[in-house]
Amino acid sequence: MRHEPYESLLEQYLIGALDAENLAEMEAHLNGCPACRLRLKVLEDCRRINEEDEVPADYSSSWRRKIQEQEEIPMKKNTPAWTKWLAIAAAFAVVLVGTLLTGNELDRALGRRPAAETQAPDGGIGYYSGANVRSGAGDGMAAFLPAPEAAEPMMWAADTAAGKENQELKIIRRVSMTSGTRNFDDDYQAIRDALESAGGRVESADIRTASNGLRTAYLTLRVPANGLDTFAERLKGLGHLQAFSESAEDVSEQYSDTDSRLKTQQAKMERLMALLEKAVSVEDLISLESAIADTQYLIDSYTGQLQGIDSRVNDATLTMTLNEMSALDTAEAREETLWDRIKSGVSHMWQMLREWAADAAVFLAAILPVIILIALVIIIVRAIKKRRNTK
């Protein structure tokens, strides 16, 4: 039995993409081939395998907490051209010396850094340009979203603006923000108060105390979607906003798919009920009841799914990380003053200087054997000349 030609037909059949001719061929084949028929049903089920499973409640907050706790985040360096040349030169010297002196210890010790430097393309990803996500620039939110993922929120904004007649649109909105505060307890209470007046609820709240005694609250809040913007604005006013992001997921298609499946099953149920009225034999009754039970199960399951989507559409999710800050931090974290900018400028310059010094040290260390070698040669040559002269 050869199935290969039917594999791609089967896939197209599954998504309803076959034209009449191929459809007829596929159906003829399906009729005579239990293996393909089973395969088709299994594939249909595969597509819906995760529909009943829920994501664990603490999954989101716990990975977000883990990334917050990361102490080391590699900096994406915008290395000036000359340091790159220096690094290349150093790499070159290292390779030269390495091959000259078969001792590859040095090569191994130094090899990594130049390779990383030369390979790095300048600039790179777009998110870096969105420096305005940070403090005081709340109006520039989501500016850093790369194009493909940003498309959906944009569409959403356009759709709602364009006309409200499209009531079928199902959008799940999420907002995520991070704030720092010196008045942790007050602000935490203020969030709870704001939540209550917005008619929202806490889905999860997790407060951790770090080793330095400062606390961090990880909150997952559910807020009626129409009050999300007002609520987010209120939260932005608390403490000092460090990061803000927003997303919108269009689940309209998924919703209408499930909805039409539900309607199919409901129609089936009506037919079964009508049959049940007319049923006479016990056998008929039994098989009808079994079919009714199965259909009811499906109806319940689809209704549950629709309610789940509705709940997520009606109530937006807002995840908030509230960092307690020491007095020192808060002084730093106000709006960017001239003083802040000077400090940050100095720090950048200092960092560059240190990197340069490190690079120079690497370079010097790398060419040291060459220098020694050259020096040796010069000394020997001079010594020979001297000897000749004296002769």
- 155-194 positions binding another protein, by CB under 8 A: 174, 176, 178
- Locate 187 and state its tokens: 């602000």
| CA nearest to 260, candidates 196, 198, 306 | 306
Least separation in angstroms between CB 384 and another protein: 53
Q: Of the ranges 16-24, 68-76, 99-107, 229-237, which one interacts with another protein (CB under 8 A)?
A: 68-76
Q: Does 215 bind another protein (CB under 8 A)?
A: no
Task: Give dist(CA 246, CA 229) in Å, integer.
Answer: 11
Least separation in angstroms between CB 47 and another protein: 7
Q: Is 249 helix (H, G, I), strand (E, B) or coil?
A: strand
**Torsion, Cα of 34, 39, 44, 46 (10° steps):** 140
Q: Which parts of 295-314 interact with another protein (CB under 8 A)?
A: 297-298, 301
Q: Does 60 bind another protein (CB under 8 A)?
A: yes
Least separation in angstroms between CB 102 and another protein: 33
Tell me which of 2, 66, 112, 164 binds another protein, using CB under 8 A.
Answer: 66
Q: Which parts of 72-91 interact with another protein (CB under 8 A)?
A: 73-76
Tell me which of 306, 340, 356, 370 binds another protein, using CB under 8 A.
Answer: 340
For residue 170, which amino acid is it? K
Q: Does 353 bind another protein (CB under 8 A)?
A: no
Residue for token pair 């001239």: 338
Least separation in angstroms between CB 250 and another protein: 10
CA angle centred on 205, ends 203 and 210, rounded to 5°: 160
Q: Does 290 bind another protein (CB under 8 A)?
A: yes
Q: Does 378 bind another protein (CB under 8 A)?
A: no
Q: How does strand 240-250 pair with strand 215-224?
A: unpaired
Least separation in angstroms between CB 167 and another protein: 23
Closest CB to another protein among residues 342, 376: 342
Q: Does 53 bind another protein (CB under 8 A)?
A: yes
Q: Of the ranges 51-59, 97-105, 107-115, 364-372, which one interacts with another protein (CB under 8 A)?
A: 51-59
| String of DSSP letters for 175-207 | EEEEEEES-HHHHHHHHHHHHHHTT-EEEEEEE
Kindly report the three-state secondary structure assignment for every residue of 265-291. Answer: HHHHHHHHHHHHHHCCCHHHHHHHHHH
Which residues lie across from 320 on neighbouring strands?
Answer: 177, 219
Task: Give dist(CA 254, CA 197) in Å, integer.
Answer: 32
Q: Which parts of 110-139 interact with another protein (CB under 8 A)?
A: 121, 124-128, 130-131, 133-134
Q: Does 221 bind another protein (CB under 8 A)?
A: no
Residue 2, CA distances (Å) to 9, 40, 44, 298 in order: 13, 16, 21, 35
Q: Does 61 bind another protein (CB under 8 A)?
A: no
Least separation in angstroms between CB 372 and another protein: 36
Task: Give dist(CA 385, CA 383) in Å, integer.
Answer: 5
Tell me which of 2, 20, 21, 70 binds another protein, using CB under 8 A.
Answer: 70
Q: What share of the chain is helix, strand, coil (3-state, %, to 5)?
A: 65, 15, 20
Q: Does 343 bind another protein (CB under 8 A)?
A: yes
Q: Is 250 helix (H, G, I), strand (E, B) or coil?
A: strand
Closest CB to another protein among residues 189, 344: 344
Q: Does 273 bind another protein (CB under 8 A)?
A: no
Neighbouring C-beta atoms of residue 44, cutoff 10 Å: 10
- 194 exposure class (CB count in 10 Å sphere: 0-12, 13-18, 19+): buried
Least separation in angstroms between CB 366 and another protein: 25
Q: Does 28 bind another protein (CB under 8 A)?
A: no
Least separation in angstroms between CB 285 and another protein: 10
Q: Of the ranges 59-67, 210-218, 355-363, 367-375, which one interacts with another protein (CB under 8 A)?
A: 59-67
Q: Does 213 bind another protein (CB under 8 A)?
A: no
Closest CB to another protein among residues 92, 297: 297
Tell me which of 247, 303, 314, 330 binds another protein, using CB under 8 A.
Answer: 247
- How many CA within 13 A on the CB side of residue 351? 11
